[in-house]
Amino acid sequence: MNRREAIKRVGLLFGGVLYAPAVAGLLSGCRSGGEAAFTPRTLTPEQNDLVIHLTEMIIPETDTPGAKAAGVNQFVDLILTDWAPTEDRDRFLAGLADVEARSQAAYQVAFLEATPEQQVALLTQLEDEALAAPAPPDAQPFFLMLKQLTLLGYYTSEIGATQELQWLAAPGRYDGCAPLEEVGRTWA
C-alpha cells in the first residue's frame, strides 16, 4: 500500500465515523430503561445475543465496564433501525449470518458455543480480511462497521464517557472580564 492509498483509507475511516451514528448516539443518550426493558427492533433475539458477545469481545470488561454494560447492542440496533441505509443494514445482518456460517464451517458449532480461542481466531480472521480488502467508499466491510459502531456506541454512552474517559463537567472557572495583563495573550 502506498502513502496516497493509506491517506485515502484513513480519510474514509474518519469520514465514516462522522456520519449519522454520531447524531443518533447523542440523541439517544437520554433514554431511560435498562437491559430488561430493551427489545430489539431490527435484530432478532439471537442476532442481539451475538452482537452483545461480539461487542464485548471488542471492548471487554476490565477495570472499567465493557460494551455489554454500556448497552452497545442497543445502540447498534438503534442505528440499524433508525439511521442506517437499507444497504448498510442488510450488509450488517449478512455479516452476522456470515459469522455464524464461518463458525459452523470451521468448528461445527454456533459462534456463541465455540471456545473463546476459536471465537478470537474467527474475529481476528474477519479483521484481517476487512483490513486487507480494498475500501470502496460505499461498502464498508462488516467487521469495520461492527467495530465502528461498537466504539461510537461505547464512547458516547455514560459509562464510556465518564468511567473509561476522563470527563470534567466544568474544567475550571471562566472569567469573561479579566484584564488582559492578568491572563496574558488571548487564545486562538
* Within a domain: 115: yes
Residue 188 within any structural domain of the chain = no
- Report the pLDDT value the prediction gives residue 39, as an integer from 0 to 100: 95
- Asked, for residue 178, whether it belongs to a domain, the answer is yes
Residue 165 resides in a domain: yes
Domain that residue 141 falls in: 3-183
User: For position 153, what pLDDT does the model report?
Assistant: 98
Q: Is position 136 within any domain? A: yes
Provide the residue type at 77 as one letter: D
pLDDT recorded at residue 179 = 83
For the chain, what is the mean pLDDT?
A: 86
Provide the pLDDT for residue 20.
53
- Residue 147 CB burial class (10 angstroms; 0-12, 13-18, ≥19): buried
Residue 80 domain-assigned (yes or no): yes
Give the model's pLDDT for residue 146: 98
In a domain, 42, yes or no: yes
Q: Say if CB 156 and CB 25 are below 8 A apart.
A: yes
Domains identified in the chain, total number: 1
Low-confidence stretches of the chain (pLDDT < 70) are: 1, 10-36, 135, 137, 167-171, 185-188
pLDDT (0 to 100) of residue 134 = 83
In a domain, 46, yes or no: yes
**What's the pLDDT tens digit per position in 92-115?**
999 999 999 999 999 999 999 999
